[in-house]
Amino acid sequence: MSDLDLTRFSKEEQTMILKGYYYAKEMHNKYTKPRLSGEPYFTHPVAVTKILIEMGADATTVTAGLLHDIIEDTPVIKEKMAKEFGSKIANLVDSVTKVTRYDIPKSQIALATDRKFMNALLRDPRTALIKLADRLHNMRTANAWPIETQIRKAKENFTVYIPVANAIGAWRIKQELEDSSFKILQPKAYQLNAEKIKYIKESYDPLVEEVKETIDKNLKEQHIVPKLIKTQFKSPWALYQALSLRSKEILELKDLISLKIIVNNALECYPTLGIVNSLYKSKKITDYISNPKLNRYQSLHSHIVVSDEFNLLVKIRDSLMERKATYGLSYDEYKKIGGIKLFQVIETLDDNISNDKEFLEKVEKEFYSEKVSFFTPDGTRCELPYGATLVDAAYFIHTEIGNHMIKASVNGVIKPNNYRIHEGDTIRIFTGEDVSPTEEQLKDAMTNYTKVALRKALTRGE
């Protein structure tokens, strides 16, 4: 057990985790073959659990991480696990267990399993943490798989797991899954973009270090001692997307190089921003602290001009914001905000689409498409796929608001329902109790979620 750090857990929680550890070890050593890498299989659930502990997962999730392959790979059934560890842990383990059905072809099992996982997110978002940690460790050891398996898993990452990591704000896991999958699917493009990043690092590192030293010195003179000032460069996948898919020149990228400043508490964030902007001209400032992203990402962003040819993105946050930006929402945070809005898409589409492949394609489109942000009149930040309309905004805010929508204003001006939302718009939806959805609204809708909700309402005759 020395391979797991349980110091942040209570004695009672440690007892539960230890029970899961030894139970999983006994079952895997008895029933499970070694991994393709030759290691004992139990090394995998231990590695997954380490990732979960790093993510700040609670004791229930950590225990389920140790047990996550027991139902799938040993004779233990869900009911027996529930007797041993309780229904919450048994349900979590079952949620990440492969579908076993004999009425569908073997080729369809993976799709059914992914759909099962997506639906489990609605019941307990901790499912996402376990599955992401599981997939992350598997990708770290993917070289042991046949190349066909590597390609299939990499494609699946982009369809299912990367969108989920993005939705919960698990940036570090998202980036690692993107790059490892990119390397498998397009090795030459991966290598080319990795070399570009290396060149950028070598070319600009002296200038970046000078900026870091200047900022650090000036912060300390104002009695702000940052915990960390760290340089970040775009990842190979992110650079490939920006250059190949958006037709950008490399030096046009606003976030090619970032400077992350971790301060001691939230109160120091704004004074730090003021000091940075007094040293360098800022082209754009974005406040994600007072207006967090949907996945609750919080930070101050300032695009500063260092020279005529060189800009830097400065990110300012405290340690709690950094943990959230790295590993995503905790279970307590998830409950506090009432869930993740985008997960509503899963429930609505699941009720209306029987084909697993079509269901996953629709979810991927909603989750992974380029987003546009808008605000409600009370300042709440919302995100929808690029090209979304005011009808989509109404249904995104709440299904009942969409069902009773009369009209909408954008930045104080009434606009037609098919108006395509622009970045930063403030949108107010006007409703009436006696108003019902119309076929015209269905024509104006862009997102699958809105279309499905509208068809359902029109069928019921609301």
- Let me know whether 140 and 203 are in one domain: no
Domain identity same for 81 and 55: yes
Whether residues 309 and 348 share a domain: the answer is no
pLDDT of residue 460: 74
**Range of the structural domain that residue 436 is part of:** 341-460
Q: At a CB cut-off of 8 Å and minimum separation 6, what does 330 contact?
A: 56, 57, 58, 324
Q: Of the candidates 89, 113, 144, which is a domain's last residue?
A: 144
| Residue 164 within any structural domain of the chain | no
Q: Closest by alpha carbon to 270, among 217, 316, 320?
A: 316
Q: pLDDT value at position 361?
A: 79
Q: What's the structural domain count of the chain?
A: 3
Residues 191 and 323 in one domain: yes
CA neighbor of 452 nearest in space, from 341, 372, 363, 373: 363
CB burial string 67-91: b at 16+ within 10 A, e below: bbbbbbbbebeeeebbeebeeebbb
Residue with structure tokens 């120091």? Answer: 268
On whether both 372 and 310 belong to a single domain, the answer is no
Compute the C-alpha angle 139/324/56, nearest 5°: 70
Same domain, 197 and 293: yes
28 and 127 inside one domain = yes
Is 154 part of any domain? Answer: no
Query: What are residue 415's phi and psi, to 5 degrees?
Result: -125, 155
Final residue in a domain of this structure, among 327, 360, 379: 327
H-assigned helices in 186-318: 187-221, 236-240, 269-279
Strands, E, within 256-340: which ranges?
257-263, 281-287, 300-307, 310-318
Q: Which residue has the tokens 């990499």?
A: 154
Same domain, 115 and 198: no
Q: Specify if 390 maps to a domain.
A: yes
Tell which phi-psi region holds residue 124, choosing left (phi > 0), alpha (psi between -120 and 50) or beta.
beta
**Is 165 inside any structural domain?**
no
pLDDT the model gives residue 384: 86
Q: How many Cβ atoms from other residues are within 10 Å of residue 393's Cβ?
A: 28
Number of H helices, E strands in the chain: 22, 10
Are residues 435 and 384 part of one domain? Answer: yes
Residue 279 lies in a domain: yes
Give yes or no: residues 280 and 406 share one domain.
Answer: no
Residues 352, 310, single domain; the answer is no
From the first residue on, what is the mean pLDDT of each consecutive set of 10 residues in the chain (462 residues)? 84 96 96 91 96 92 96 94 95 89 69 82 83 95 94 91 85 94 96 93 91 96 96 91 69 81 96 96 92 86 88 94 84 63 68 79 72 86 88 91 94 95 94 90 89 85 56
Is 172 domain-assigned? no
> Which string of b and e fits 18-36 if b means at least 16 CB within 10 Å?
eebbebbbebbeeebeeee
**Same domain flag for 320 and 209:** yes
Supply the CATH number for residue 442's domain.
Answer: 3.10.20.30
Point out the domain boundary residue: 126, 144, 162.
144
Domain annotation covers residue 276: yes
